Structure 1
Amino acid sequence: MENKSNNSGLKAAIVVLALLLLGSVGYIYKITSDNKETVTGLTTEKETLAEELKAKIAEYDTMIADNTALKDELQAEQAKMVELLEQVEKSKGDAAAMAKYKGAYLKLKGEMDNLVAENKLLKEQNVTLTSSLDSTKVVLDEAKKFNDTLLVQNEGLTKTVEKGSKLAVLNLKVLAVKERSSGKQIETDKAGRADKLKVSFLIAENQIAKTGSREYYVQIIDSKNNILGEKKTIPTGDKTLTYSFISTVKYENKTVQVNEEVSGKDFAAGTYFVNVFDKNAELVSKTSFSLR
């Protein structure tokens, strides 16, 4: 009877131990499964964070290439992202470390969001400024064209006035004469008889010309290519002008008759050429005559 009681107690103990063993196995299995899930979750979280950091670093590359004004700030923040990525990739992925890295990432992301907003604003301002500069350039170009047109017109007007203010020398004539002892002059076309050449010309009226003294250089060239008269020379740029005499005229916006004489002897027969130059050595009149 006592043996039966002992056997029942032993069986009960075995059952309890078996149940405890099964419970321990189940608990260990659950803990192991939970640990596996936790490790898997942390690994995935680490990989996700690393990918996000790489994407943000690439975004920084684009912004740095587009913006020179914020280049230093963008590069500094990008360097922080690169440093954090290196730390994440080297970590073992434990929960405490991942929490720390996620917090650092969120802070850096916030800084990046601010820079992105500032970069966008700068781009918009640049677009507005560029548009404004383009408009200003168009206005300035139009103003320059208008000023250039006025300048050309003024230059043309100045040249027209200068041209219009020049005095015209007209009716240039030369007569060969023989002067008698009485002073009477007799016109002749014989070289052997002539002892004077009488030169005359008109300076025409011009109301827009300046009044004052005018000088004209008269050049008489005989048939042997000799210059008669004073034979004085003045420079004219890279050349010289030899003249027979200077005629000084007082001009007062009215027609002026000019009469001059050149004395000589042994005038050569043939064709003579007479040229009149102004003070700038510009030819203003010419004629010719012949002596036989």
Structure 2
Amino acid sequence: MSQFNQAGAPEESNKNKPIIYWVIIAVLLVACIFLFVSKNKMSEENDLNSKRMQGQLDSVRTDRASLQSDFDAASAKIDQLVSQNAKLDSNMQKDKEEMLAMQQKIKSLLGNSKANASELKKARAMINQLNDKTAQYEARIAELEKENGVLTNKNVVLTKERDSTVTQNIAIKKIGSVLHASNIRMEPIHKKKNGKEKETSKAKKVDVLRVKFDIDENRIAESGTKQLFLRIVGPDGTILSTTTNGSGKMTTSKGDQISFSIMKEISLIKEQPVKDVVVDWNQEGDFARGNYMIEIYSEGYKVGSGNVTLK
């Protein structure tokens, strides 16, 4: 009986071997499936984490670009306002320095390529603060420009009034500096063969028509050489004119061009009269009978006149 049992044990053991193998295979298969699922799940989590990190990086880049754009706009505005204010109010220097200092801090933050979201958030807050200061600064400039506009209008009015007064004073001074001739005499002179001169009233004997006059004292006219223009009007109403006497054209105070017969220069001393100014008119031909009139001009103004009649 015992021999039979001993012979049957190996046979039963051999029958159990396939079951063990299948169990092992099943365990290995489950393990492979577990590892495969775990690996896929881990890969999915890695992809998800990678996408999340990439999204964060993209967000940071977008925020940085947006901040840089806003900062550039704020900086440009500040540069414009600082330039504008340089002409308006030196008292705003402190505000300008604060904005420029804040501008440098923001620039430093944005220039850091490793800046995180927290630092960029800080930069955003500073940009908002900078924009607020810029708005206040701009409002103050507008106020100053308005005040300056009022002052400018007042200055324009004052300048016009001043210029008008100056113009009037110049005109008054110019008129006041015009010389005045007095004691005007016209002497027809006959020159004898012996060189002596004799006054005559006969036209055919006149060799020189001599004009004498005084220049009165003038307290405005400056000392120096002054030009006097004499117009001698003949009996026929024409202005006597010869090239030898330097006849030509002169401009009156009204801007008109008129002929003159002869020009005389005198030396004037301020506040002193000039006595016995002598001007000789030498005629190329004979003097006609009739009335001769003399007009004396200074600075374009008629300052005296006289006449003489030749028979």
Q: Which one of the candidate residues 116, 137, 160 is aligned to 1:152?
A: 160
> Does the 8 Å contact 1:175/1:199 carry over to 2?
yes
Output the CA distance in 1 between the equivalents of 2:28 and 2:57.
43
> Does the 8 Å contact 2:229/2:297 carry over to 1?
yes
Identity within the alignment, %: 9
> Is 2:79 the partner of 1:58?
no
Q: Which one of the candidate residues 110, 119, 137 is aligned to 1:129?
A: 137
> Does the 8 Å contact 2:228/2:263 carry over to 1?
yes
Give the equivalent residue in structure 2 for 1:218: 228
What SS does structure 1 have at the residue aligned with 2:116? helix
1:96-132 superposed Cα distances (whole Å, 9 cap, x missing partner): xxxxxxxxxxx71112212222222222222222232
Give the equivalent residue in structure 1 for 2:37: 33
Give the equivalent residue in structure 1 for 2:236: none
TM-score normalised by length of structure 1: 0.55
Output the CA distance in 1 between the equivalents of 2:42 and 2:17.
37
The residue type equivalent to 1:133 in the other structure is I
C-alpha displacement of 1:151: 1.7
The residue type equivalent to 1:225 in the other structure is S
In the TM superposition, 1:77-88 aligns within 5 A as: 77=113, 80=114
Give the equivalent residue in structure 1 for 2:264: 244
> Does the 8 Å contact 2:181/2:296 carry over to 1?
no
My pick for the range that moved more, 145-154 or 30-39, is 30-39
C-alpha displacement of 1:169: 6.5
C-alpha displacement of 1:152: 2.1
> Does the 8 Å contact 2:109/2:120 carry over to 1?
no
Output the CA distance in 2 between the equivalents of 1:244 and 1:121.
81
- Compared with structure 1, are the counterparts of its residues 112 and 15 closer, same or farther at alpha carbon in structure 2 (3 Å cutoff)? same
- Compared with structure 1, are the counterparts of its residues 191 and 175 closer, same or farther at alpha carbon in structure 2 (3 Å cutoff)? farther
> Does the 8 Å contact 1:227/1:244 carry over to 2?
no
> Does the 8 Å contact 1:216/1:247 carry over to 2?
yes
- Compared with structure 1, are the counterparts of its residues 289 and 30 closer, same or farther at alpha carbon in structure 2 (3 Å cutoff)? farther
- Compared with structure 1, are the counterparts of its residues 290 and 189 closer, same or farther at alpha carbon in structure 2 (3 Å cutoff)? farther
What SS does structure 1 have at the residue aligned with 2:37? helix
What SS does structure 2 have at the residue aligned with 1:274? strand
C-alpha displacement of 1:46: 0.5
> Is 2:297 the partner of 1:276?
yes
For structure 1, which runs of at least 5 residues remain unmatched after alignment?
81-106, 180-185, 232-240
Give the equivalent residue in structure 2 for 1:49: 53
1:59-108 superposed Cα distances (whole Å, 9 cap, x missing partner): 3223324335434541323xx3xxxxxxxxxxxxxxxxxxxxxxxxxx71
- Compared with structure 1, are the counterparts of its residues 218 and 210 closer, same or farther at alpha carbon in structure 2 (3 Å cutoff)? closer
> Does the 8 Å contact 2:295/2:306 carry over to 1?
yes
The residue type equivalent to 1:244 in the other structure is K
> Does the 8 Å contact 1:174/1:198 carry over to 2?
yes
1:44-64 superposed Cα distances (whole Å, 9 cap, x missing partner): 120121122123213322332
What SS does structure 2 have at the residue aligned with 1:225? coil
Give the equivalent residue in structure 1 for 2:169: 161
C-alpha displacement of 1:159: 1.0
Give the equivalent residue in structure 1 for 2:302: 285
> Does the 8 Å contact 1:220/1:274 carry over to 2?
yes
> Does the 8 Å contact 1:268/1:291 carry over to 2?
no
Give the equivalent residue in structure 2 for 1:120: 128
1:10-64 superposed Cα distances (whole Å, 9 cap, x missing partner): 9999989977876665565445433322220220120121122123213322332
1:157-215 superposed Cα distances (whole Å, 9 cap, x missing partner): 11112223432667989553469xxxxxx9969584586435478899xxxx8598798
The residue type equivalent to 1:275 in the other structure is I
My pick for the range that moved more, 195-204 or 68-77, is 195-204
The residue type equivalent to 1:138 in the other structure is K
The residue type equivalent to 2:171 in the other structure is K
> Is 2:110 the partner of 1:74?
yes
The residue type equivalent to 2:127 in the other structure is N
> Does the 8 Å contact 2:179/2:215 carry over to 1?
yes
TM-score normalised by length of structure 2: 0.53
